[in-house]
């Protein structure tokens, strides 16, 4: 009984943290899945999530400046300003990527990687500037007021013991991530738009001949995917990190999100669970007593990547056609080449 109780206690404290870790990954992987379904391998996702985060921070910072000047807090604006800023920032990144790869048919890998480099630099530059502006002693900037609104939990979460802690203790952005993922999965698998999108990613020439506007599908999917991924950055800063932006804190979560797309065989509904699993693996090292042996800790940090590799190996060994990447992934399309 005692062991069971302590396992229960462990889960109640572990699961919510795993979920909180998983949500940015879920946003990133849902966004990347939509993009890849249109045949665009966007390796700019880590940078885009960065930009999504810092854009929200900039918006929130400017609004908090007004609050500091004595304006009353408007609950609507304090949510909407960072949200819209974040969406616009990642939309801009998505547009750059789309223009480069769809209109100019640039190499997708190069375009994506340079966007990632650019996005991280963009984030650190503006992050650093804001830190300078505040004249803060620590190299970070805290937006506590905004964060309070972003991390508001469901009001009755605390009254419901373990159930409340595991299922109800999250902010609206977390639930939104899960809803977006399920809706995306439904749209891709069950609707006409989803069918057309898959055709564009698999075989753009066929889609074109069937009268599907290939370019438009690719643009919309890539930009929408970027915006969703950018929300992951916003969630990370405003909720997970309690409104504290410090440069490079977001880490390699963006790459993990891309790995998650492969892990979930391009299915956002699976990603809901897989992202929580990855989130758990990501922080598992905190829960495994390693004592003073720091090297062991570092080994545990490898877990999400090891799991991804194993899944890659298994899925390529099984060779199930549905579990392979879209056939047209990474290949620019232009009609005259047929």
For the record, the structure tokens of 157 come out as 């979460």
Q: Among 113, 160, 212, 307, indicate the residue that binds another protein (CB under 8 A).
A: 212
Alpha-carbon distances of 141 from 79, 152, 249, 292, rounded to whole Å: 18, 20, 12, 32
Identity of the residue, 217 or 282, whose beta carbon is nearer to another protein in the bound complex:
217
Judged by CB under 8 A, does residue 109 bind another protein? no
Judged by CB under 8 A, does residue 331 bind another protein? no
Judged by CB under 8 A, does residue 321 bind another protein? yes
Judged by CB under 8 A, does residue 192 bind another protein? yes
Judged by CB under 8 A, does residue 110 bind another protein? no
- Output DSSP code: residue 289: -
**CA-CA-CA-CA torsion sign (115, 118, 122, 123):** positive
First CA to last CA distance, the chain: 68
Applying CB under 8 A, which part among 25-33, 117-125, 186-194, 296-304 lies near another protein? 186-194
Number of residues that bind another protein (CB under 8 A): 20
Applying CB under 8 A, which part among 110-118, 157-165, 203-211, 284-292 lies near another protein? 203-211
Applying CB under 8 A, which part among 35-43, 66-74, 198-206, 232-240 lies near another protein? 198-206
Judged by CB under 8 A, does residue 2 bind another protein? no
Judged by CB under 8 A, does residue 191 bind another protein? yes
Shortest approach of another protein to residue 189 CB, angstroms? 10
Judged by CB under 8 A, does residue 196 bind another protein? yes
What span, in angstroms and rounded, lies between the C-alpha atoms of 273 and 154?
A: 21
Within 10 Å of residue 44's Cβ, how many Cβ atoms?
35
- Report the residue count for the chain: 338
What span, in angstroms and rounded, lies between the C-alpha atoms of 5 and 130?
A: 46
Alpha-carbon distances of 167 from 23, 118, 122, 135, 254, rounded to whole Å: 13, 37, 35, 39, 25
Judged by CB under 8 A, does residue 183 bind another protein? no
What span, in angstroms and rounded, lies between the C-alpha atoms of 30 and 32?
A: 5
**Measured at the alpha carbon of residue 299, what is the angle toward residues 294 and 302, in degrees to the nearest 5?**
135
Judged by CB under 8 A, does residue 260 bind another protein? no
Applying CB under 8 A, which part among 74-82, 156-164, 173-181, 197-205 lies near another protein? 197-205
Q: Among 3, 5, 322, 336, indicate the residue that binds another protein (CB under 8 A).
A: 322
What span, in angstroms and rounded, lies between the C-alpha atoms of 251 and 131?
A: 19
Judged by CB under 8 A, does residue 315 bind another protein? no
For the record, the structure tokens of 334 come out as 């232009």
Q: At what angle do helices 253-263 and 303-318 cross, to 10 degrees?
A: 30
Identity of the residue, 137 or 336, whose beta carbon is nearer to another protein in the bound complex:
336
Q: Among 114, 203, 246, 315, indicate the residue that binds another protein (CB under 8 A).
A: 203
Classify burial at 323, counting beta carbons within 10 Å of its beta carbon; exposed 0-12, middle 13-18, buried 19 or more: middle
Judged by CB under 8 A, does residue 199 bind another protein? yes
Judged by CB under 8 A, does residue 327 bind another protein? yes
For the record, the structure tokens of 220 come out as 């919309």
Judged by CB under 8 A, does residue 107 bind another protein? no
- For the segment 12-31, give every residue that binds another protein (CB under 8 A): none
Judged by CB under 8 A, does residue 324 bind another protein? yes
Shortest approach of another protein to residue 262 CB, angstroms? 16
Site residues for another protein per CB under 8 A: 190-192, 195-196, 198-199, 202-203, 205-207, 209-212, 321-322, 324, 327
């Amino acid at each position: 009984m005692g062991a069971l109780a302590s396992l229960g206690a462990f889960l109640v404290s572990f699961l919510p943290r795993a979920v909180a870790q998983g949500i940015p990954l879920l946003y990133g992987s849902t966004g990347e899945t939509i993009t890849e379904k249109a045949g665009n391998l966007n390796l700019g996702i880590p940078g885009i999530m960065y930009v999504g985060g810092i854009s929200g921070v900039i918006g929130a910072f400017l609004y908090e400046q007004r609050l500091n000047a004595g304006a009353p807090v408007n609950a609507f604006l304090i949510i909407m300003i960072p949200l819209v800023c974040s969406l616009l920032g990642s939309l801009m990144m998505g547009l750059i990527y789309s223009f480069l790869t769809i209109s100019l048919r640039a190499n997708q890998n190069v375009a994506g990687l340079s966007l990632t480099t650019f996005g991280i630099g963009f984030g650190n530059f503006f992050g650093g500037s804001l830190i300078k502006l505040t004249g803060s002693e620590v190299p970070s900037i805290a937006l506590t007021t905004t964060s309070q609104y972003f991390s508001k939990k469901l009001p009755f979460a605390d009254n419901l013991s373990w159930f409340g802690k595991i299922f109800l203790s999250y902010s609206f952005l977390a639930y939104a991530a899960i809803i977006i993922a399920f809706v995306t999965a439904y749209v891709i698998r069950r609707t006409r738009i989803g069918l057309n999108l898959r055709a564009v990613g698999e075989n753009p020439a066929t889609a074109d001949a069937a009268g599907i506007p290939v370019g438009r599908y690719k643009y919309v999917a890539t930009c929408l995917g970027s915006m969703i991924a950018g929300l992951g950055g916003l969630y990370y800063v405003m909720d997970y990190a309690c409104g504290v932006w410090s440069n490079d804190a977001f880490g390699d979560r963006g790459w993990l999100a891309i790995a998650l797309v492969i892990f979930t065989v391009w299915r956002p509904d699976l990603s809901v669970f897989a992202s929580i699993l990855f989130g758990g693996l990501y922080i598992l090292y905190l829960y495994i007593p390693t004592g003073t042996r720091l090297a062991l800790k570092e080994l545990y940090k490898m877990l999400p990547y090891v799991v991804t590799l194993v899944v890659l190996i298994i899925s390529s060994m099984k060779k199930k056609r549905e579990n392979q990447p879209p056939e047209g992934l990474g290949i620019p399309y232009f009609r005259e080449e047929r």
